[in-house]
Structure 1
Amino acid sequence: MIGANPETAKRIASQLRARSKAFTFPTGTEALCNQLLETVDSTTFPGALVPEQAADGEFLVVAIALPSDWRRLCPVLRAFAGPTLTSFDGLPSTDLVVADLLAAVAEAGQCVTAAIKVPTDPGDREMALRALVRVRDTFARAPSPTRAAPEPTSWLLARFQDHLNVGRRDAAAAVLHRLRDELRLDALNLRSLEVQLLSTFNEWAGIVNLPGFANLTRARRTPATTSLLLEALYQAHLASPFEAGDQAGVESIYAQQVRVLAAPMLKAPLPASLRAGGWRLATLEVLSSPAREDLRTGAAARSNVLGWLAPRLAAVSSPEKSPVPRLDSTDEARERLIAGEARESVDVMSATLAALARLDDTQRAELARAEPFRSALRALEQEAGSTSVPTSWPMWLTRISDASFTNALALARMGAEEWPIGGDATDPVEVASLFDALNKAQSDSLAAERTAQALPYIVAALQRDPLFPNSAMTQIYSSLLTLLALGSGRGTSVYDSSLVLIEALLSIGTDAAQYREIAADVDELAGEGFGLRMVYWTLELIEAFMRSPAPDTAAREKLVHSVLARLTPLRGRLSCLQQAAVRSLSKEFGWTFDVPPAQQDLDGDGLAERLRGKSIAIYSLVEGASRQAKVALQAISGDIDVQCSADQGGTSQLRALAINSDLFVVAWAAAKHAATDFIRTHRSDRPLVYAEGKGVSSLLRAVEDYFTAQPSGRSGPD
């Protein structure tokens, strides 16, 4: 590719192809010449090989590359098509290159050129051209020099959870796509992640319509996946008639369509994370099968979410309880192993390990002699990694300083679904225990690193607290943030989930001293020199501070000025939307951010060209952020149509926007579920993206991520 910008290379390639039509290339070389022209805009080729006619009509091939690319191209070119086949000796030369060719490629920047003469004999000429084509093919097959180092699957799964915590749907989908393409997980685990992704955005019908959904209801699952599958069945089939009070219709649909799928998952103990829809399905199962005393007891305890099913359940008479025979230790271990084969649960794993620990060597050997227990034991040993597993976050934090605790991240992922933090009856003793464990982790480098890596799972567990952000958990949020700030000095990656902690602390409210500590932690998290990928994250942080009360305005201004000072060296490399966001912030604090106007940056990143003529709809309850995003987008190009909405539910205006816009952006953290469902219903297959935060930076980031990801020449639906 000529130059560093793909859009520029494509324009040059178009000009050179049109220009080549005026040439008369030697007979039989047209196909080879066209293949060489493909190098002009090939992202895998360092520079370009351009078939050319000299002023005297002589046939040439001109090698053109930026100085940095020339160092890669020259040795390979000489190895494949050096003096044995052509005139190329590794030295640049411009004597035979015509001026209009140099003018055509001038847009790419200062380049090194070399005119390569090929033999006049037809056979030798074809051999030389084929050698040059092999140069192109060699670079196409070569591994990318900028390819990132392979990442462990556990890190990718943590990043997937991180994106879900803040509502970055497209980013989470990209991680899922990578896990699938690189064959990191089996089909069942990939499908479970897809269920988690769709449920985060309440796309219940999408879950029920997944290929192989019926198989998911019978396969080994985590308790959280069971809860989501049951909720999806309820929302897709029963929610509407249930809310309408159609009791006969609900029971009929359950019996004819839902029960065959729900029954395999309705087994005691039901998941603690079961939602209202799941408890209603459990109640319907009790009404269909009154002998299910195991379900009736649990459902009766959740009568507050059962609606009109509650009195129906209370009227079901309990069957006579027959005495339950006491199991000996071997039979108990067998039952635990079978339960572990059906449920992927850290608590089930812990109970199974405890049952096995009560066996003597003879009993254990006897158990391991027969299938399926032998295979179950082998799988348990591999999954648990030791003779015991933690069953709470304080226990997990206590063990992470142990180097042999190699499955710490995998257990944290399971614990995020099963280990509750906070709630209506937050126990101060439990909070103190968790706080002490976090503080202890800060004093050990391995423990601190593992805690930082597990942050997305810890934040996911915190967000499941019905009272989140919970004022009783303030010291936990603060301790995690401090640990992350210290970890950033060790090179630990900064997760988007840190935004959740910061916004939680700011929304709860702090005194001046605590506020200064938060600002200092955020300043440390941002680092001395952050890259372009952190620009939007940093701007969203600043917006969170600007939206919240400031007990110490001097601390807030110090933080903002510090961030702006670090952004200044990057100003020439920011995208046009990043420039707009930074300019808006800098003006508010009296800075003159010396960045060329966005209109002059059209060719810098190609984003403005993709946005031109598009219609974009924005839905957010934070209307100020929507208006600022509209101004920033229209400053790039006057023909961008941006419409904003903050309707609480479905309206004719919202419906028109959903149907007609090229792109619809929903502020995930500042949207009503009813309106989001309405938009999704009328949006059909047209592009819909979610902004992770509440501010203008998140909205602009969502727009930029979408249009940047579109193939060149296609920035929206046809």
Structure 2
Amino acid sequence: MSVDFTPFFAAGNEIHPNKVPAGFQAILEKHINAIQQRRIGFLPRSFQGRLWWYGFAHTARQRREVLELLDSWVGPTFSDLPRHRGALEKADPFDAALAAMPLEVLRFEVLPRSKPDSTRSRNEVRNALLTLGDLLRQRPASEFDADRTTVEVLDDLGHAIAAQDRSVALACLRELEAMADLDQTNLAFLRLRLHAGLQDWNAVLSDSDIDQLLAMHRPARITHFIQQAVYATWFAAHDTAGSEQQLLDAVTELPPAFHALYSGTPATSRAQAVVEFLIAVQAGAQETQNRLLDEAGAIEPGLPEHLRAILHLQTPAGAIQPAAPQPHTHTAESPLERATRLMAFGDTQSALDLALTIEPGIQAVYLLLTCSRELHSAHRADLVASYIATHDLRPLIDSSAPRLRDHLAWLDEFTQSKSHGGWRTWFDDLSHQHATPADPETTDQWTPLSADALTALLRQAPDEVLGRLGEFGGQFMAAHRDIFIDDGAADLSERVLAGLAMGEKNSAGVRVQTLALLDYLLAANPSPQLFASALDWTTLIVKANISAITATWAIDVLQTITATPAAATNPAAVTFFYSVIDTARPFKSALNLTDLEAIKIVAGELAQSFPDDLAAGHTDDADPAAPYRYLQGAKVVLYSLTESATARAAQVLRSLVPGIDIETSAEHDGSSTLAAQAAHADIFVVVTASAKHAATDFITAKRGTRPIIYVNSRGSSAILRELAEG
């Protein structure tokens, strides 16, 4: 950051750096350099016999911290800080110019003004500020700002995706890019995981590396992400409407790069089945069509009939032309030739299953090992290993090409290790001290646990296992997010909150995950006992994660957990209120005026007194409503499925801006009410971290050219922050 301080030492200031003693000049240069490096610095101004010092900070939070420090280092003994609290003098042209700087500026006058006492006070203040500035510049980064390992950032990325927090997820991605520990291919895979986790299918298809990813060998899970994006873009609307002919028409418009978009794995989602089936129909791949028809019944009732109807629409002449010339097939084609053709086509699963039935030989082994490595399936890897052992094919492989021997070495390692054991094995490993974070490259191959299996694991897990889950369970939570948002999952959210508390981890991922879990828990109407237990665990999480830069998050947690009727009647809510206040009190200078307004609202609801000491450090004339004044008389709609956040944000805005007309909405689907709100609101806010994409698209269509404010994080503070910035 570069700031020009030449005007500071011009009109209105009798101090000039090139005219002061060398020692004082060095002090001024030290302070100026600190400010340029985004640290705190102080500069003096002398005018008509009076002396002021100006403090320069880079955020409002930093300014409040400086004020609190100055109370101790300078205080009322040598300044007017108790009276003016660092406020600039608006009528002074010198101060008016400083107010326009891209910095948070405060000032205080050195007192007393008259000699001989003024000589001592000026020396004391100069020395105090020099020492304070040195201490601030030399203090080490807190654990909240310290460098992190790749494993830690990946874990936070998993938590952010699970919580649908785009801001934290993108910050993690940028951190990984800056580390340079991952190559470009792995970073591209992570970007697609992130976009798919946030269901941003446009971002998947527009990724800068999408062409390279389509042309390379990639994990099946990455292929599934691209298939989902293709489905959402070209096929979903026709598929939902049950229009087989329009699906056939749409596949002819699919860009050539997507014509070989096969994962080679069993179809487990409607998107995968429809995309692969349409491509197979277009290419005339009968074996693949048959396999997908067999698998479709386990995905959704009626899906096989839907796919057969697509097939029956084909004319004898072949209205759907192949994407590329296909190998000529005839009745004399051998099973080995068919398996080879299927592998070349991209249907590695069908190729492997067929190769297991043919006579052993080097070509059959090549097919089996190649397909097995691409599928990364534990079940099929065991079948291939059994085939090789039954037919004693190891000597044949040992005498063959190095590539085949490498495939066999991979098969041995894969079948003998637990890396392919899936989420259940990984969870079981948490009971051992050697348990490690889940690697996205490995977990991409794992099928998520069923709701029943996950519920059993969490309910039966001892404390030490939950603690390790809290330490490095980000990828686990990302894989099983859907289970936690289902009704009746309150106890599951409470169990993971317990894990985060016992893990004692502080990170951005833990913080966004905590807010998300509290939302899920409250939406499931927990019992009073479960609610109280969740508050106890959340208290520990707040204590582990509180700092000057996370104090607003702690107030967000307080607002979330008390935005439910259960809080008004549960004594644990009052205990929680005072626990959060006591925990945040050492960082009160980091609380902004909006935070204080929120605390007042919560205190009133719980019939408690507002802790007046929290307001220390804020000037008496500070106006918390100033950033929101433009909303007066406007119709504002806040949309989110997390009703606690929008309800709290609406309460704060009504308190600060009496003339505001504000509504909240949590409609899951398009409705006449939501349509009217979207069409008529002056300002419409969508919390993308808690919104269905169908609803977001519906709102966008109804808004037309009228603006929408998107909030990429949970919590009322994120909504208020975006509105404050306009």
TM-score category, normalised to shorter length: 0.5 to 0.7
1:451 alignment partner, SS class: helix
Once residues 692 and 168 of structure 1 are traced to their aligned partners in structure 2, the CA distance between those partners, rounded to angstroms, is 5
- Cα deviation, 1:128-175, whole Å, max 9, x if unaligned, reads xxxxxxxxxxx9x99985693321112111111211222211221121
Among 3, 6, 11, the residue aligned to 1:19 = 11
1:394 has 2:424 as partner: yes
Once residues 496 and 54 of structure 1 are traced to their aligned partners in structure 2, the CA distance between those partners, rounded to angstroms, is 50
Which residue of structure 2 aligns with residue 279 of structure 1? 273
Which residue of structure 1 aligns with residue 537 of structure 2? 521
1:42 partner amino acid: Q
Among 506, 513, 527, the residue aligned to 1:497 = 513
1:418 partner amino acid: W
Once residues 508 and 55 of structure 2 are traced to their aligned partners in structure 1, the CA distance between those partners, rounded to angstroms, is 41
Among 141, 156, 159, the residue aligned to 1:159 = 156
Gaps of at least 5 residues in structure 2 are 20-24, 58-64, 67-91, 99-104, 111-120, 125-134, 315-329, 336-353
Once residues 299 and 491 of structure 2 are traced to their aligned partners in structure 1, the CA distance between those partners, rounded to angstroms, is 31
Say if 1:337 and 1:373, in contact at 8 Å, map to a contact too. yes
Give the % identical residues.
17
1:421 alignment partner, SS class: coil
Change (3 A) 1:148 1:374: farther
1:464 alignment partner, SS class: helix
2:254 alignment partner, SS class: helix
- Cα deviation, 1:632-670, whole Å, max 9, x if unaligned, reads 24655789997755675363652565xx75x8442643x
Change (3 A) 1:611 1:225: farther
1:593 partner amino acid: F
After TM superposition, list the pairs within 5 Å mapping 1:109-148 onto structure 2.
Answer: 148=145
Once residues 292 and 168 of structure 2 are traced to their aligned partners in structure 1, the CA distance between those partners, rounded to angstroms, is 39
User: How far does residue 360 in structure 1 lie from its aligned partner after superposition?
Assistant: 12
Once residues 623 and 371 of structure 2 are traced to their aligned partners in structure 1, the CA distance between those partners, rounded to angstroms, is 55
Once residues 24 and 488 of structure 1 are traced to their aligned partners in structure 2, the CA distance between those partners, rounded to angstroms, is 52
Which residue of structure 2 aligns with residue 654 of structure 1? 678
Once residues 566 and 48 of structure 2 are traced to their aligned partners in structure 1, the CA distance between those partners, rounded to angstroms, is 72
Relative contact order, higher structure (CA 8 A, sep 6+):
2
Say if 2:535 and 2:573, in contact at 8 Å, map to a contact too. yes
Which residue of structure 2 aligns with residue 422 of structure 1? 450
- Cα deviation, 1:295-321, whole Å, max 9, x if unaligned, reads 33223544536498344157599x999
Say if 1:617 and 1:664, in contact at 8 Å, map to a contact too. yes
After TM superposition, list the pairs within 5 Å mapping 1:423-572 onto structure 2.
Answer: 423=451, 426=452, 432=456, 435-436=459-460, 438-439=461-462, 442-443=463-464, 450-465=468-483, 468-469=485-486, 471=488, 477-488=493-504, 494-509=510-525, 511=527, 513-527=529-543, 530-532=546-548, 533=550, 535-537=552-554, 539-540=556-557, 543-544=560-561, 546-547=563-564, 549=566, 553-572=570-589
Which residue of structure 1 aligns with residue 318 of structure 2? none
- Cα deviation, 1:176-231, whole Å, max 9, x if unaligned, reads 12222332333233233333333344332332222332332343434333222112
Once residues 395 and 569 of structure 2 are traced to their aligned partners in structure 1, the CA distance between those partners, rounded to angstroms, is 64
- Cα deviation, 1:480-503, whole Å, max 9, x if unaligned, reads 443333222999984432444444
Which residue of structure 2 aligns with residue 229 of structure 1? 226
Which residue of structure 1 aligns with residue 131 of structure 2? none
Once residues 15 and 579 of structure 2 are traced to their aligned partners in structure 1, the CA distance between those partners, rounded to angstroms, is 58
Once residues 441 and 586 of structure 2 are traced to their aligned partners in structure 1, the CA distance between those partners, rounded to angstroms, is 38
Once residues 214 and 459 of structure 2 are traced to their aligned partners in structure 1, the CA distance between those partners, rounded to angstroms, is 38
Among 396, 400, 403, the residue aligned to 1:372 = 403
- Cα deviation, 1:89-119, whole Å, max 9, x if unaligned, reads xxxxxxxxxxx9999999345899899xxxx
Among 370, 381, 397, the residue aligned to 1:338 = 370
1:107 partner amino acid: L
Say if 1:633 and 1:640, in contact at 8 Å, map to a contact too. yes
Name the Cα RMSD after superposition. Answer: 5.8
User: How far does residue 699 in structure 1 lie from its aligned partner after superposition?
Assistant: 2.6
User: How far does residue 322 in structure 1 lie from its aligned partner after superposition?
Assistant: 7.5
Say if 1:416 and 1:460, in contact at 8 Å, map to a contact too. no
- Cα deviation, 1:380-401, whole Å, max 9, x if unaligned, reads 89x9797332523332133345
1:593 has 2:610 as partner: yes
Which residue of structure 1 aligns with residue 596 of structure 2? 579
User: How far does residue 703 in structure 1 lie from its aligned partner after superposition?
Assistant: 3.6
1:19 partner amino acid: A
Change (3 A) 1:39 1:512: closer
Say if 1:571 and 1:579, in contact at 8 Å, map to a contact too. no
1:666 partner amino acid: V
Once residues 433 and 476 of structure 1 are traced to their aligned partners in structure 2, the CA distance between those partners, rounded to angstroms, is 10
Which residue of structure 2 aligns with residue 5 of structure 1? none
Which residue of structure 1 aligns with residue 82 of structure 2? none
Once residues 502 and 45 of structure 1 are traced to their aligned partners in structure 2, the CA distance between those partners, rounded to angstroms, is 36
Say if 2:153 and 2:172, in contact at 8 Å, map to a contact too. yes
Once residues 220 and 281 of structure 2 are traced to their aligned partners in structure 1, the CA distance between those partners, rounded to angstroms, is 23
Which residue of structure 1 aligns with residue 235 of structure 2? 238
Among 606, 618, 626, the residue aligned to 2:638 = 618
Once residues 608 and 380 of structure 1 are traced to their aligned partners in structure 2, the CA distance between those partners, rounded to angstroms, is 65
- Cα deviation, 1:230-254, whole Å, max 9, x if unaligned, reads 1211221233344555544431230
Change (3 A) 1:419 1:539: same
Say if 1:481 and 1:498, in contact at 8 Å, map to a contact too. yes
Which residue of structure 1 aligns with residue 438 of structure 2? 410
Aligned length: 616
Say if 1:602 and 1:609, in contact at 8 Å, map to a contact too. no
1:677 partner amino acid: D
- Cα deviation, 1:307-364, whole Å, max 9, x if unaligned, reads 98344157599x9997643465987875565346646x57489759967995999938
Among 195, 198, 222, the residue aligned to 1:198 = 195
2:204 alignment partner, SS class: helix
Say if 2:223 and 2:263, in contact at 8 Å, map to a contact too. no
Once residues 537 and 15 of structure 2 are traced to their aligned partners in structure 1, the CA distance between those partners, rounded to angstroms, is 64
Which residue of structure 1 aligns with residue 339 of structure 2? none
- Cα deviation, 1:24-55, whole Å, max 9, x if unaligned, reads 9999xxxx9999996484244663678x9999
User: How far does residue 556 in structure 1 lie from its aligned partner after superposition?
Assistant: 3.7
TM-score by length of 1: 0.67
